[in-house]
Amino acid sequence: MTRYSGRENYRRAITFSSPAYLPVRLGVHFPWLIERDERKERRIQELAAAFPDDFYEADPAMNLRPPERVGDLYRWTDEWGVDWAEEGRGMKPCSHPLASGYEALSSYRFPDPYAPGRFAQIDRVLES
């Protein structure tokens, strides 16, 4: 198997150019966790430091309402209109705009895939 730098492999993946492996996003926001394992948290941070070209914080999703702490929960609304809650054990959807059924699709506004700034983080990674 051909080995590429993490950055080159990432570029190949998003341009459908035969990457050596598929990159994944490590979506753990440690401060929100209830059952924190500092040893595991430290190990993940060590891995990220050892392979800086393979760990990117690039998320093209855009929230309508940013996360805010409400009691013991973090709550936010994503760009699809889904309300989320995180109590320290994983994110859970609380409500969504299509809950009433297919008829809701006629008035539903899908997120703009071309929204300005959507891929700004990714562009910065690839340009650096």
Q: Where are the domains of the chain?
A: 1-59+116-128, 63-110
Max avg pLDDT among 7-11, 21-25, 34-38, 122-126: 7-11
CA distance 11 to 58: 13
How many CB atoms lie under 10 A from the CB of residue 74?
19
**Among candidates 46, 1, 49, 53, which has minimal Cα distance to 23?**
53
67 pLDDT above the threshold of 70: yes
Give the pLDDT of residue 123.
80
Give the pLDDT of residue 104.
96
C-beta separation of 83 from 77 below 8 A: yes
Give the pLDDT of residue 72.
84
**CA atoms within 13 A of residue 43's CA, in its CB half-sphere:** 5
Q: Model confidence over 74-114: pLDDT tens digits?
A: 899 999 999 999 887 778 999 999 999 999 999 999 999 88
CA distance 23 to 14: 9
